[in-house]
């Protein structure tokens, strides 16, 4: 005589469906987090510096600096540090522009 008989009640399909939906939601949430992290890691900013020293000078492009994140304030500060001779002067003109770019992951065989 078998004492352990599996009994299906009327709620078991609902419970299975509920667990399946919860699993799918967790999986989608996990994939969304991975996508956001990949986007953050795979993006970078570039700070472009144009400046000159002295009154009435004409700005010249000094160069571009790759940065993980960029704001107008950090870009300007970075230009002054990187190019102190031209961009660090108190008299003169400084133009610092941030541009967001994406890294392309190279797949080499």
Both tokens of residue 14? 């609902």
SS3 content of the chain, % helix, strand, coil (to 5): 40, 30, 30
pLDDT higher than 60, residue 85: yes
Query: Does pTM surpass 0.75?
Result: no
- DSSP state at residue 104: P
Pick the closest to residue 93 from 64, 46, 61 (CA basis): 61
16 against 87, higher pLDDT: 87
Q: What order do you get walking across the sheet with 43-53 strand by strand? A: 60-67, 43-53, 92-102
pLDDT of residue 71: 87
List the domain boundaries for the chain.
12-41, 45-102
User: pLDDT band for position 69 (50/70/90)?
Assistant: confident
pLDDT higher than 80, residue 26: yes
């Amino acid at each position: 005589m078998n004492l352990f008989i599996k009994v299906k009640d009327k709620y078991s399909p609902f419970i299975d469906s509920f667990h399946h939906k919860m699993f799918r939601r967790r999986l989608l949430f996990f994939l969304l987090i991975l996508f956001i992290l990949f986007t953050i890691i795979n993006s970078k900013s570039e700070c472009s510096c144009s400046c000159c020293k002295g009154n009435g000078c004409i700005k010249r492009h000094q160069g571009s600096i790759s940065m993980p994140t960029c704001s107008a304030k950090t870009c300007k500060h970075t230009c002054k540090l990187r190019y102190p001779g031209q961009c660090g002067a108190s008299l003169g003109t400084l133009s610092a522009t941030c541009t967001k770019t994406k890294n392309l992951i190279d797949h080499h065989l």
